[in-house]
Amino acid sequence: MVSAAILMGGMAIWSMHYLGNRAIDIDGGDFDLQIEYSPGYTAGSFFLAVFGVMLAFYFFSVRENLTWSGTTLGGFFMGSAICGMHYMGQGGINNYTSVYYPRFVIGSALIAISASMVALRIFFQSKAKWTNTAVRRGGSAVLLATAVCGMHYCASAGTRYRLKNFNAGRSLGLSREHVVTTVICL
């Protein structure tokens, strides 16, 4: 269960989401104005995603019969972990203050939780009925990717960035290309 949570929460959900955040381009790509992320918050968001997925898997694995309460709890924990991961990462932006519109925060949470519930329900409900696990896994993966992408883009659409400070020529550490390459290799 831990390995599956690391693969799904860390490698799939977190890396896709992190790459999506790194794709945010401010002022036509001016290097000095690009978003700078705190390594501590970034690492914390990774572990939050893994922990949330592990809780979701736990609610499905401890029961013989799949129940709606288990589906709701599992989907809630996974969707909340996806949202928490996003907003923790946003909280780690060093050079901008993020301003959120409440309706987008609520919308992004509803997307993440509901799509997570459906994806997990399909995956665990059909495991005893389907012999083709590739179809089951593929369908669940598409739904979960919808949860992550939908949540990310809804939340991003409702976020405005206000520059805290401007340091021309500052070093962002690794370049965007190096970060993206590292995450892809994970």
**Model's pTM, two decimal places?**
0.80
Query: Among the ranges 59-73, 98-112, 114-128, 131-145, which has the highest mean pLDDT value?
Result: 98-112
Domain ranges of the chain: 2-185
Helix ranges (DSSP H) in 62-175: 68-91, 102-125, 133-157
* Single-letter code of the amino acid located at 79: G
100 close to 28: Cβ distance less than 8 angstroms: no
pLDDT in tens, 43-86: 899 999 999 889 888 877 777 677 788 888 888 989 999 999 99
176 vs 13, higher pLDDT: 13
The confidence band for 130, taking pLDDT boundaries of 50, 70 and 90, is low
The confidence band for 14, taking pLDDT boundaries of 50, 70 and 90, is confident
Q: How far apart are CA 135 and CA 15, in angstroms?
A: 23
